[in-house]
Amino acid sequence: MVRKRSTLFFIIFLSLIAFGIFVPVFALLPSLSSHSLHHHQQQLLPATKKNHGYARKFEISDDKFWKDGQPFQIIGGDLHYFRVLPEYWEDRLLRAKALGLNTIQTYVPWNLHEPRAGTLDFKGIADLVSFLKLSQRLGILVMLRAGPYICAEWDLGGFPPWLLAINPAPRLRSSDPAFLQLVERWWGSLLPKVAPLLYGSGGPIIMVQIENEFGSYGDDKAYLHHLVSLARKHLGDDVILYTTDGGSRETLEKGTIRGDAVFSAVDFTTGDNPWPIFELQKEFNAPGKSPPLSSEFYTGWLTHWGEKNAQTSADFTAAALKNILERNGSAVLYMAHGGTNFGFYNGANAGSDESDYKPDLTSYDYDAPIRESGDVNNAKFKALRRVVEQYSSVSLPAVPSDNEKKAYGSIHVTKTGNLFELIHYFDVVESDNPISMESTGQMFGFLLYITEYTAKDNGGGSIVSIPKVHDRAQVFISCPSEDGHGKPTYVGTLERWSNQPLTIPNTKCLSNISLLVLVENMGRLNYGPYIFDRKGILSPVYLDGRILRKWKMYLVPIINLNESPKINPIIQAANSGVITMSARKRLKPKSGNASKEPAFYAGYFYISKEDIIKDTFISLSGWGKGIVTINNFNIGRFWPLKGPQCNLYVPAPVLQNGKNVVVIFELESPNPELVVQLVDQPDFTCAAVAAAVAIAAAAPTLAPPAAFITPATLANAAIPPTSIALKATVGFTAISYSTCNFPLYQTRNVVRYTT
């Protein structure tokens, strides 16, 4: 394998860097040295606090939780610091307190904190210690889910993707010595940081979770015992360690450690009778050490692209919570506040096999009581608060008003460059056969594979097939013209979930034809047996049954959530004239193949220096599929044609007074008007529109039912109503899949639209 690096930058490429979508490489961060537990304990917080003769202590006895010698009922909720901008941590925690929560549960994603092997990051949105200290200052306890596997609908279940590039491959979630050695190194950095924040040392952490729902995956007890020993080494013997598993005998048998060394908590379907499950829980804890705890009480559910947005009844959810709390049970709402999968960190699920692939939305709203944008003026928040108020030991704080949103209006964008015009300025890896993204060093986003083949006159064209592609590949061919340049022509798209060979049209060419395959990593599986989810082209590429060789793989450098570019994008954007060129020109209609080119579009809008910056949502109606950055922050993926998410949440801290730069990487078909809208409301109605389009293609002569799709939704999708004709009666097909939080709707029905 040969690795090359280009050192020159074309002016268009510099302009794109100016808009904040490119970075040359991941900026390497200084390694974090480990410090001793004693050293940290000397730095932080008062060490003890007396209450009726008891030292500051959180413990379990008589099948109850005890805090400072008094019985304590955990009324908690999951709120993940990595799904909320740090500027909003306090806002969301205060809203959680207003809901009546006394405890916050959060995961720790290894991949966020160690994006490259040996390169640790605990700054910005990854500043876990600051989040924990803030929780303490606000009087909120913390249940810390330290992993190393977390699931969480987060890329690779929180494992760093560079684990997938190691050869030989370590067996994740096992007692494989190669894997355990990596876990020891990671926890050797993480746990000494949080040890001074344990409750007994004056901090907010009352419990630390080992792994996550391991009983739904395996039964490697040696692995679990090793994690317990490692946690005790760094955290001491006083902290409560706990596991979480589904409330069945099978999962508890496989995922728990019997005895009193580790407390076994349970989760189960919302609405199930919790008390027989709590009785079962007692069998897996020592006598007197089993306070009833649902450590994931589901307030909603996740949503994948192409599904109807998940929603659950407020009254039903509140009644299920009351059934636990009224008999002194404890519960942790999953989620109290979902937040957002910014950047490329969304996870995915699989069904019966790894090709049955379902990536998660950018939004992680989860239909939680505190909505993605922090809103609490909703039926679910009110219903749950009424229940919690009946059992809270303290008066609940006043409910804050929703943060104001603002519709900043239209933004006209300019096409600033075609991806293929810029590839000579990207890092490139060469290999005889295509290799995975992780093996090239490209952990997220996109990788462009290019090879050549000899043109043949074989009448109907050639057949190209890629048996294993993760996750979505756009295929192009290019024939150099007389001037040495040939514009790539779109051939078709291969998708992991519906992979079919493509026909390449017969092309007369004076030299070899270039085959270009742009592969998008749409999020790694975070749950189940196929979690070892490498990305890119993972098999040979066949042309008419012949294997194509001699590949070049170009690393498309798009920033991820916790990366900082080396260049000031605002200064460069201000000095660049690119955005001002032809900003208001409408794209001319093109043929289907010619319009499928991946390209970059940029524009800007101003916020007056006198105005207070407010949250907004960027609507991508009329666009195809891609990502958006604003002021060099990766807002996330959009795919309105698939739905249901039509627009992306833009928190106010991303914006600034003055000029705000928006960059869109559109993979397929830009809005013909080259415009996006900043609106003041979320929108999850695109699934119906996408279904309508599909049905229209299958049944173009039938009349639409008004109840299914309306002129308003059509206008929102930038689809002329006259082009849509729907069947009068629409049928539905239900399918099932498994997710990490499987107890809710264990075979959850997903509506797929069919004719």
Is residue 375 within 8 Å of 649, Cβ to Cβ?
no
What pLDDT score does 60 carry?
A: 98
Helix (H, G, I), strand (E, B) or coil at 225: helix
255 and 377 part of one domain: yes
Q: For residue 561, is it within any domain?
A: no
Phi, psi torsion values for 419, nearest 5 degrees: -55, -40
What pLDDT score does 585 carry?
A: 47
Q: For residue 379, is it within any domain?
A: yes
Separation of alpha carbons 723 and 731, rounded Å: 21
Closest CA to 250 of 219, 293, 282, 222: 219
Is residue 274 within 8 Å of 294, Cβ to Cβ?
yes
Which is the catalytic residue, given 114, 153, 296, 666?
296
241 and 109 part of one domain: yes
3-state SS, 382-397, equals HHHHHHHHHHCCCCCC
- The burial class, CB within 10 Å (0-12 / 13-18 / 19+), for 519 is buried
How does DSSP classify residue 580? T
Domain that holds residue 620: 576-580+595-698
The alpha carbon dihedral of 439, 174, 471, 417 has a sign of negative
Q: Could you give the number of structural domains in the chain?
A: 3
What pLDDT score does 193 carry?
A: 98
The total number of residues written for the chain in this structure: 755
Beta strands 293-298; 330-337: pairing state: parallel
CATH of residue 141's domain is 3.20.20.80
Is residue 324 within 8 Å of 297, Cβ to Cβ?
yes
pLDDT in tens, 30-64: 333 333 333 333 344 443 444 455 689 999 999 99
Which is the catalytic residue, given 59, 213, 354, 372?
213
Phi/psi region, residue 612 (left: phi>0; alpha: psi -120 to 50; beta: rest), is beta
Peptide bond into 335 cis (omega under 30): yes
Is residue 601 within 8 Å of 414, Cβ to Cβ?
yes
Q: For residue 365, is it within any domain?
A: yes
Question: Which amino acid makes up residue 235?
Answer: L
81 and 140 part of one domain: yes
345 and 199 part of one domain: yes
448 and 379 part of one domain: no
Separation of alpha carbons 15 and 33, rounded Å: 38
CATH of residue 644's domain is 2.60.120.260
Beta strands 414-418; 599-607: pairing state: antiparallel
Is residue 245 within 8 Å of 277, Cβ to Cβ?
no
Is residue 652 within 8 Å of 387, Cβ to Cβ?
no
160 and 257 part of one domain: yes
Tokens of 143: 């249940």
> Terminus-to-terminus CA distance in the chain, angstroms?
49
Peptide bond into 177 cis (omega under 30): no
Phi/psi region, residue 745 (left: phi>0; alpha: psi -120 to 50; beta: rest), is left
Is residue 567 within 8 Å of 468, Cβ to Cβ?
no
Separation of alpha carbons 252 and 245, rounded Å: 6
Tokens of 81: 């610091």
Separation of alpha carbons 56 and 71, rounded Å: 13
Closest CA to 359 of 472, 469, 201: 472
Q: For residue 28, is it within any domain?
A: no
Closest CA to 380 of 348, 425, 420, 335: 335
Separation of alpha carbons 190 and 110, rounded Å: 9
Query: Token match 């090359």: residue?
Result: 4
Q: For residue 399, is it within any domain?
A: no
380 and 451 part of one domain: no
145 and 282 part of one domain: yes
Q: For residue 24, is it within any domain?
A: no
Separation of alpha carbons 146 and 559, rounded Å: 26
> Mean pLDDT, consecutive 10-residue segments, the chain of 755 residues?
45 48 40 35 40 78 98 98 98 98 98 96 97 98 98 98 97 98 98 98 98 97 98 97 98 95 97 97 97 98 96 97 98 98 98 94 98 98 98 96 98 94 92 98 97 80 95 94 72 95 87 94 97 98 97 95 54 39 45 70 97 98 96 97 97 98 96 97 81 50 34 37 30 43 38 30
267 and 346 part of one domain: yes
Q: For residue 716, is it within any domain?
A: no
| Domain boundary residue, one of 647, 674, 698 | 698
Closest CA to 283 of 261, 267, 259, 262: 259
What pLDDT score does 14 carry?
A: 44
Tell me if residue 438 is catalytic: no
Closest CA to 496 of 520, 531, 517, 464: 520
| Domain boundary residue, one of 674, 698, 722 | 698
Which residues, 6+ apart, have CB-to-CB distance to 712 below 8 Å?
none
Tell me if residue 668 is catalytic: no
What pLDDT score does 511 carry?
A: 82
Separation of alpha carbons 372 and 370, rounded Å: 7
Separation of alpha carbons 405 and 392, rounded Å: 32
Closest CA to 637 of 361, 418, 367, 372: 361
Q: For residue 523, is it within any domain?
A: yes
362 and 435 part of one domain: no
What pLDDT score does 42 carry?
A: 37
Based on its alpha-carbon atoms, the radius of gyration of the chain, rounded to whole angstroms, reads: 26
Continuous segment of H or E residues that includes residue 377: none
| Domain boundary residue, one of 651, 682, 698 | 698
Is residue 666 within 8 Å of 628, Cβ to Cβ?
no
DSSP characters for 315-350?
Answer: HHHHHHHHHHHTTT-EEEEEEEE--B--TT-B-EEE
Which residues, 6+ apart, have CB-to-CB distance to 93 below 8 Å?
79, 104, 134, 135, 138, 140
327 and 192 part of one domain: yes
Helix axes 128-137, 89-99, angle to 10 degrees: 40
What pLDDT score does 693 carry?
A: 52
Is residue 294 within 8 Å of 266, Cβ to Cβ?
yes
Separation of alpha carbons 480 and 492, rounded Å: 20
552 and 604 part of one domain: no
What pLDDT score does 487 carry?
A: 86
pLDDT in tens, 185-199: 999 999 999 999 999
Continuous segment of H or E residues that includes residue 41: helix 37-41
